[in-house]
Amino acid sequence: MPDVKPFRRRPGGRLDRHAGVVIDLDSGDRVGVWLRESGQGDAAAFANVYDELAGLVFGVVRRVVRDVARSEEITQEVFVELWRLAPRFDQERGSARSWAATIAHRRAVDAVRSEQASRNRDERHARDRQLTAPSADEGLEDTLVRARVRRALDRLTDLQRESVELAYYGGHTYRDVAALLDIAEGTAKTRIRDGLIRLRDEMGDSR
């Protein structure tokens, strides 16, 4: 795409000499002519398109986006898209101005929706963090409970502790525990049961 800057106005009169042809700027859709030439890679023609449509595109975007700086960014994005799509422009289906305004409006709406979706995601994540984050008291309580559990586990026999940790911390079934420890399933069940009973007693749970 040719290097064009926002809202740069080219000096000139009512006629434009382009590719050796004098074009009457007041006859027909001159922007459509320039767009077709832009579609063939003519950067000078696209500079004319930019000069003619910059104000229109910015105005359309500004009404949707509101923020001036963001509107300028989107205006540049629209002209990148116009340059890319110029070969597809069909003057018989509508004027170049209408075509550009439609692209500008669509791009602005997409930008607003995308930014709103991003804000919504950030807000949801913030709410989720607030809901799931433990308070200082809860964090202290969890720490104390974990410490009690660890002390209780330390008081189990090695065999009981190994079986309980595999079952409840490792998420294994008693069959898994039996296979991992190479013991009978009944033995695994007994170790897990006895370990839990002793763990409950050590934790002071009378249930």
pTM of the model: 0.49
Q: Residue 72: which domain range?
A: 15-130
* Mean predicted confidence (pLDDT) in 135-158: 68
Cα→Cα distances 96→110, 140, 150, Å? 21, 67, 75
Is 88 inside a domain boundary?
A: yes
> What is the reported pLDDT for 180?
73
Is 3 inside a domain boundary?
A: no
**What domain count does the chain have?**
2
Structure tokens that stand for 179 in this block: 């296979």
Which of 101, 130, 159 is where one domain is finished? 130
Please name the residues in contact with 49: beta carbons below 8 A apart, sequence gap of 6 or more: 31, 34, 35, 38, 82, 96
pLDDT for residue 22 is more than 70: no
pLDDT for residue 176 is more than 90: no
Q: Are 42 and 33 in contact (CB under 8 A)?
A: no
pLDDT digits (tens, 9 = 90+) for 100-122: 999 999 999 998 888 888 877 87
Is 4 inside a domain boundary?
A: no
Which of 87, 102, 130 is where one domain is finished? 130
Q: How many helices (H) and strands (E) does the chain have?
A: 8, 2
DSSP E strands in the chain: the ranges are 15-18, 21-24
pLDDT for residue 5 is more than 60: no
* Mean predicted confidence (pLDDT) in 143-153: 72
pLDDT digits (tens, 9 = 90+) for 58-86: 999 999 888 899 999 999 999 999 999 99
- Same domain (yes/no): 114, 141: no
23 phi/psi in degrees, rounded to 5: -110, 125
- Return d(Cα 116, Cα 113) in angstroms, integer: 5
- Same domain (yes/no): 62, 79: yes
